[in-house]
């Protein structure tokens, strides 16, 4: 069974940093691009960042560009999101997501973790 398990969430002060991790199992991790998607309280889904299968290319939402860094360790079947200069608007449930096809672009999001919650507040 394909599974994604996020960790690293918590309460952090504005301006602080946090690193999210996602452990993947049940599929060949380095065959697929991976994504982070978030949902703020009472809001819809928001794409945050994506990384290709090699970890050589990444994309970011304008709202996090320059503050967040996505990375992956294919030897550990793990995805990461390093977050700096956190703002109250970053408060959300963060989902780790697997892309549905192996290839040179992003296709669709077929496996989702249950999410890890981040609260940015003083």
Partner 1 sequence: DIQMTQSPSSVSASIGDRVTITCRASQSISSSLNWYQHKPGKAPRLLIYAAAILYTGVPSRFSGGGSGTEFTLTITSLQPEDFATYYCQQTSSAPLSFGPGTKVDI
Binding site for partner 1 (CB under 8 A): 35, 37, 44-47, 50, 59-62, 95, 100, 105-110, 112-115
Nearest distance in Å: CB 54, partner 1: 16
**What residues pair up with 5 in beta bridges, in sequence order?**
23
Q: What are the two backbone dihedrals, phi and then psi, of residue 55, each rounded to the nearest 5 degrees?
A: 85, 15
Nearest distance in Å: CB 106, partner 1: 5
HSE-up of residue 37 (Cα within 13 Å, Cβ side) = 18
- The DSSP code for 30 is G
Pick 11 or 45: Cβ nearer partner 1: 45
Nearest distance in Å: CB 9, partner 1: 15
Pick 73 or 110: Cβ nearer partner 1: 110
Nearest distance in Å: CB 81, partner 1: 15
Pick 15 or 103: Cβ nearer partner 1: 103
Q: How far is CA 51 from CA 14, 42, 64, 75, 98, in A?
A: 26, 27, 14, 16, 10
Please answer whether residues 77 and 22 qualify as being in contact, where contact means their C-beta atoms are separated by less than 8 angstroms: no
The answer to whether the Cα torsion of 87, 91, 96, 100 is positive or negative is negative
Pick 8 or 16: Cβ nearer partner 1: 8
């Amino acid at each position: 069974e394909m599974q994604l398990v996020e960790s690293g969430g918590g309460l952090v002060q504005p301006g602080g940093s946090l690193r999210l991790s996602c452990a993947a199992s049940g599929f060949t991790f380095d065959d697929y691009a991976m994504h982070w998607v978030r949902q703020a309280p009472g809001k819809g889904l928001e794409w945050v960042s994506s990384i290709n299968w090699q970890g050589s290319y990444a994309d970011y939402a304008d709202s996090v560009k320059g503050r967040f860094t996505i990375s992956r360790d294919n030897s550990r079947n793990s995805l990461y999101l390093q977050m700096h200069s956190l703002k109250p608007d970053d408060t959300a449930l963060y989902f780790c997501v697997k892309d549905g096809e192996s290839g040179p672009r992003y296709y669709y999001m077929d496996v989702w973790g249950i999410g890890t919650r981040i609260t940015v507040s003083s």
